[in-house]
Amino acid sequence: MNKNWILLFCLTLVIFGLAGSYFYFTSISPLLAHNSDTFYVEEREGQLVTLGNRSLLGSIKLDKVKVNQNQYPSEAFVIKSSIKEGLPISEFESHEKVDIEEVVMNRHANPQKQLEELRSGKLKEEEAVVHGLYVLHSEEINQILISYSILGISYEEHLIIP
């Protein structure tokens, strides 16, 4: 009889532990997105958003990007660059553009942590990578909605443009 109670207690702890971990994991957004700069190209407004992955568990896959009131932008793409080079604002045409659906950011791709690790010598310059999301639209951009997934769980990140 005691063995059954101990087994039931252990099973209950495991279930609550898994449920708690799931809710904790899904409540924290692993995408790190910072509005970096506004620019203009051929009479279109553009926003450069610096992206990173602060997840310890998996890679982030971008799904789609929308602007303002659920509109698709004129153009949206990602440029992957080294932290040393930085992200271009005016001459991004010379860099390789990656379609949104093809972007996968590996875990620990957090630009702030990478800078700290570079300064402390834990990371080499060649290993430090930054992702820049370029969003171009024919109208003024007031907000950006980034849809992405990690470990099969979908998230949305809303950025308000001041």
Q: Who wins on pLDDT, 91 or 161?
A: 161
| Rounded mean pLDDT, 90-98 | 79
Q: Which of 4-13, 29-38, 52-61 shows the lowest mean pLDDT across its residues?
A: 29-38
* Helix-, strand-, coil-residue percentages of the chain, each rounded to 5: 30, 40, 30
Residue 56 has pLDDT above 80, yes or no: no
Residue 73 has pLDDT above 90, yes or no: yes
User: Which ranges constitute the DSSP H helices of 48-97?
Assistant: none
pLDDT at 27: 61
Sorted by where each begins, the domain ranges of the chain are: 30-160
Q: Please state the pTM of the whole predicted model.
A: 0.77
Q: How far is CA 33 from CA 18, 28, 44, 161, in A?
A: 28, 13, 22, 12
Residue 29 has pLDDT above 90, yes or no: no
Can you tell me the distance from the alpha carbon of 28 to that of 118, in angstroms, rounded to the nearest whole number? 26
For the chain, the straight-line distance linking the first and the last C-alpha, in angstroms and rounded, comes to 65
Burial 99-113 (b: 16+ CB within 10 A, else e): ebeebebeeebbbeb
- Fold type of domain 30-160: Immunoglobulin-like (2.60.40)
| Residue 82 tokens, joined | 């080294």
